Amino acid sequence: MCGFEYCLALARASSIRALRPISQTLSSSSPPSVYIGWLGYPVVTVAAGLPPEVGDTSIYDLPEKWLNISLDDILRFRLTLIRGGMSVRVYDVGSSFVSKIRELAISSKPVDVEVFFEKRVRARALLDENIPPMGPSAPVKRLEINSNPYVSRHVEKVYGDRDLGAKKAILYLYKSSIPVSTIARILSTGSVGKEVRRKLVPTRWAITAVDSVVSEALIREIVGKPPINEIRLYTYVKSGNLFIAILLPTHWMFEWIEAWFPGSTWNMFGGEVVVEGDWELTSRREKYPSIGGCYYASRLAAAECLSRLGRQAGVVLYREIYPSFNIPIGVWFVREMVRATLSRPYRVYSKLSDLLSDLRSITKVPVEQIVENSRILSLLVRGRRLFD
């Protein structure tokens, strides 16, 4: 009746019911999941993500598998994921507690743990623009690992190589088909990099770092490829969002644009649609984009698409966020939605004007407003040739 794509009230009620039986002891199978906070840096919260159940809990912390799961269900199981942790200095990667958290982080299968909390767990949600939702935080008195973590040979290789730089380790894991969400978890716990430089990395920073490093490497590969020979339009509507991808027959350029409707996540109390974006034209960005971590998450998905095609292109990604979507759930959503968008059938055009004409029946924001807020499209509409 409210028109939302999910019910946060029901998700919270469900999490409260699931957490109510927990007093100060919990037997759990971590998906595995870890959380490294950023407030108070360089002293941060280091926590294990602990669902109130034992068994195969891997779906709790694997965004790459969430595309066909409803937001209701994602919220329900994420809000029961207890962050059981301690405050630690980021360079204390050898402490007993951090070592146990690292054992969880590098495992590719759920790990059985028993946790003793200092206080009773109370249901409180963590909603963040960069990381997936999580449940309450509870200080840990003691954490015991009751099953052997399963570490893949690829992860074991980069963890054991104390002379391998973090960027090279990230790219090695990615090329070994390790999910980017898993790589971010490994990076955040100081499990890769040269030994003297290993430290804890806040989860939100680790996610963006992996998206940035991997997409940068893919872009370096595709800029030597020939451009695509047509204009392509991809569209996808999902969970109160419209995603549009435009591929242009030119050298690598990239732009990420968001249109926030009144009542949506970042425009809760506004009276009109707000359109913002960021771009790179010929070289990669050196400054952090004003649009946030979504920029790198979407850039990764775009670079993956062009890598599969073996071509380069100018890429304009556009997203409309409607009032039925009004909570932050992390950049994983953008990464997976853009991946899905670029995997769908597409329309082909010979002229940009024809594409923009078709957009009038797809977007709710007027095409003129989109072009005005797009660095790449505005240049082309004003008469610049695509290959310029």
**Domain check: are 31 and 125 in the same one?**
yes
Q: Is 346 exposed, middle or buried (0-12, 13-18, 19+ CB in 10 A)?
A: middle
Determine if the peptide bond prior to 52 is cis (ω within 30°). no
Region of residue 15 (phi > 0: left; psi between -120 and 50: alpha; otherwise: beta): alpha
* Residue 174 is assigned to a structural domain of this protein: yes
Dihedral (C-alpha) 102, 105, 109, 115: value to the nearest 10 degrees? 60
Q: Supply the pTM of this predicted model.
A: 0.94
**Domain check: are 361 and 244 in the same one?**
yes
Six token digits for residue 67: 């595309």
**Domain check: are 182 and 238 in the same one?**
no
* Residue 386 is assigned to a structural domain of this protein: no
**Domain check: are 304 and 169 in the same one?**
no
**Domain check: are 72 and 139 in the same one?**
yes
* Residue 373 is assigned to a structural domain of this protein: yes
User: Of 145, 172, 198, which residue is a domain's last?
Assistant: 145
Looking at the structure of the chain, the number of domains it has is 3
The DSSP element (H or E) to which 377 belongs, if any, is helix 375-381
Spell out the per-residue pLDDT of the chain, length 388, in tens: 677 877 877 887 887 787 877 888 999 999 999 999 999 999 999 999 999 999 999 999 999 999 999 998 999 889 999 999 999 999 999 999 999 999 999 999 999 999 999 988 876 778 888 999 998 889 999 999 999 999 999 999 999 999 999 999 999 999 999 999 999 999 999 999 999 999 999 999 999 999 999 999 999 999 999 999 999 999 999 999 999 999 999 999 999 999 999 999 888 888 999 999 999 997 677 889 999 999 999 999 999 999 999 999 999 999 999 999 988 899 999 999 999 999 999 999 999 999 999 999 999 999 999 999 999 999 988 875 555 5
Domain hosting residue 203, numbered range = 153-221
**Domain check: are 244 and 370 in the same one?**
yes
**Domain check: are 352 and 238 in the same one?**
yes
**Domain check: are 13 and 107 in the same one?**
yes
- Alpha-carbon gap, residue 80 to 60, rounded angstroms: 9
* Residue 387 is assigned to a structural domain of this protein: no
Q: What is the DSSP string of 139-186?
A: EEEEEEE-S-----HHHHHHHH-TTS-HHHHHHHHHHTT--HHHHHHH
Six token digits for residue 148: 């052997």
Six token digits for residue 245: 């991808």
**Domain check: are 57 and 101 in the same one?**
yes
| Nearest residue to 313 via CA among 302, 324, 300, 301 | 302
**Domain check: are 244 and 377 in the same one?**
yes
